[in-house]
Amino acid sequence: MGANAIARRLESIHDKGAMRSADIANILNVRPETVSRWSTGKTLPHAATEKQLLELEYIVDKLADVYEPRDARMWLLSRQRVLEGRVPAELIQQGQVDDVLAVVDRLLDGVYL
C-alpha cells in the first residue's frame, strides 16, 4: 500500500473518528512523529502496524454510522460496560479487534442504542 493510501486512511480516521495523531499513535504503539511521517508519505508503517491501522480505520468507519466523530472518539477511548469495563482502543492495541467489532456490530444492529 502506497504512502498516499496510508495518508488517506489516516485522514479518514481523523475525519470520521476525530482521532488525533497522538490517539492513533497510542493505539498503534508508535510515536506521534511516526504517524506524522506516514501522513506526509516520508515513511510507511511496518506490515503488522499497517494491518492494525486498517483495522482501526474499519472500526472508525463503522462507528461513523452510529456516532458523530467526537462521540466515536469518546467511545473508543472510554471504558465500555458491554466490554466488561475494557477500553476499545486498548483492545485494538492488544490485537483484540474482533471483540471490539462484535460490539460495534451490535451497536449498528441497535442492540445497545
pLDDT in tens, the chain (113 residues): 666 899 999 999 999 999 999 999 999 999 999 999 999 989 999 999 999 999 999 999 999 999 999 999 999 999 999 999 999 999 999 999 999 999 999 999 985 54
Decide if 77 is inside a domain.
yes
Rounded to two decimals, what is the model's pTM?
0.91
Based on the structure, what is the number of domains in the chain? 1
pLDDT of residue 113: 47
pLDDT of residue 110: 85
Q: Which three cell numbers stand for residue 85?
A: 469495563
**Residue 72 · residue 17 · CB < 8 Å:** yes
Decide if 84 is inside a domain.
yes
Decide if 37 is inside a domain.
yes
Count of H-run helices and E-run strands, the chain: 7, 0
Which domain range does residue 43 map to? 3-108
Decide if 113 is inside a domain.
no
